[in-house]
Amino acid sequence: MSIKRETVLVALGLLAFAPSSFAQQSSKEFGNELLRQRCASCHAIGPSDRSRHPRAPEFRNIVKRYSPDTLAEALAEGIMTGHPDMPIVTFEPHEIGPIIEYLEQLSKEHR
The binding site for ligand HEC (CB under 6 A) comprises: 38-39, 41-43, 53, 55-57, 62, 75, 80, 82-83, 85-87, 89
Q: Which is nearer to ligand HEC, 57 or 97 (CB)?
A: 57
For ligand HEC, which is the closer residue by CB, 15 or 88?
88
Q: Which is nearer to ligand HEC, 5 or 94 (CB)?
A: 94
How far from 25 is each of 5, 7, 22, 58, CA to CA, in Å? 30, 27, 5, 26
Q: Min. distance of Cβ 25 from ligand HEC in angstroms?
A: 24
Q: Of the two residues 3 and 92, which places its CB atom closer to ligand HEC in the complex?
A: 92
> If we measure between CA atoms, which residue out of 27, 25, 23, 43 comes closest to residue 35?
43
Minimal distance, residue 80 CB to ligand HEC, in Å: 5
Q: Note whether 72 and 99 are within 8 A (CB).
A: yes
Assess contact for 37 and 69: CB atoms under 8 A.
no
CB atoms within 10 A of CB 94: 8
